[in-house]
Amino acid sequence: MEVIILKNPSDVAQRGADLCVELIKKKPTAVLGLATGSTPLSLYEELVKRCERKEVSFKNVRTFNLDEYVGLEGSHPQSYRYYMDHNFFDKIDIEKANTFVPQGDAKNPVAVGFEYENQITKAGGIDLQILGIGRNGHIGFNEPSSSLSSRTRIKTLTETTIGDNKRFFRQGEFQPGLGITMGIGTIMEAKQILLLATGEQKTEAIKAAVEGPITAMCPASVLQMHRKVTAIIDEAAAEDLHSKPYYYWVLSQQQKIEKLYGR
Ligand code: PGA
């Protein structure tokens, strides 16, 4: 895993945007896997700015979001469809028909899971999957104990996740306890993965994901098995990493290697 430690969340967003733009320039029909939550918000803001400045176009890009709440329709302000439209899709030049989010209010969310897998396959697979990480190490809504080879399906959310996401719901408002999420096996099939984490509340999860044993109890730890993962994290999230000096050293060498031999 390539570990890039940067000063603050804004640097993380910039570097994440660089990676996305680089891919889209190389492949204008790229398929992006997208995440919600607070972490990628500044990445989306940065990409919107670059799109406005015509540095990148999403005209032929297709996107698949990781997850959605079961029971919320896309127009619900807490749904991930609403979040994506509001924070990203409505502000860039993407075709809305090319943006996919699992349908949370479908009559049969189990069937939605199977159909979502088919849609990803039909699109040719995901070129770059963006991931946040939960305090408990979850990726998407794949909570600890999720099968490391799971596919898109319904997951029961943990109390930690429900508690962490409470802040987005008004007092007394219905908060779903189920999500429909790409599986860990689905995520692992992405050609490239970008894991973003910022802030001290993620220190423990990042330590476990990057340097801990591979275990279903920290779903993000399975990323150690992926051939092309970049973890872009800020200093606060990197605080407990044992091999920090090595990651900085690797990065400096990487820059030299790229200068000499290209990417
Ligand atoms: P956050 O959520 O970005 O809001 O911290 C990350 C996640 O739960 O995957």
Tens-digit pLDDT profile for residues 226-242: 999 999 999 999 999 99
Looking at the predicted structure, is the pLDDT value of residue 262 above 90?
no
Question: How much is the average pLDDT of 96-122?
Answer: 97
143 is catalytic: yes
Cα–chain-centroid distance for residue 97? 20
* Residue 28 CA to ligand 1 centre (angstroms): 28
pLDDT at 209: 98
Does ligand 1 come within 6 angstroms of the Cβ of 132?
yes
Does ligand 1 come within 6 angstroms of the Cβ of 108?
no
Q: Quick check: 176 and 69 in contact, CB under 8 A?
A: yes
Q: Which residue, 199, 83, 56, is CA-closest to 133?
A: 199
Question: Would you say the C-alpha torsion 87, 146, 70, 162 has a positive or negative sign?
Answer: negative
Exposure of 2 by Cβ count < 10 A (0-12 exposed, 13-18 middle, 19+ buried)?
A: middle
Q: Which atom of ligand 1 is nearest to the CA of 131?
A: 9
Strand order of the β-sheet with 178-181 is 67-69, 178-181, 153-156
Summarize pLDDT for 31-41 with one digit per residue, the tens: 999 999 999 99
Provide the b/e sequence for 210-231 (b: ≥16 CB within 10 Å): bebeeebebbbbbbeebeebbb
Q: Length of the chain in residues, anyone?
A: 263
Looking at the predicted structure, is the pLDDT value of residue 183 above 80?
yes
Q: Which residue, 87, 246, 111, is CA-closest to 168?
A: 87
- Which of 36, 80, 223 has most ligand 1 atoms within 8 Å of CB, for mutation? 36
pTM (two decimals): 0.96
Strand order of the β-sheet with 62-65 is 2-6, 229-234, 192-197, 128-131, 31-34, 62-65, 99-100
136 is catalytic: yes
Please name the residue whose Cα sits nearest to atom 8 of ligand 1. Answer: 134
pLDDT at 227: 97
C-alpha pair distances (Å), 137 with each of 32, 95, 160, 182, 189: 22, 33, 11, 15, 19
Cβ partners under 8 Å of residue 114, min gap 6: 152
Does ligand 1 come within 6 angstroms of the Cβ of 38?
yes
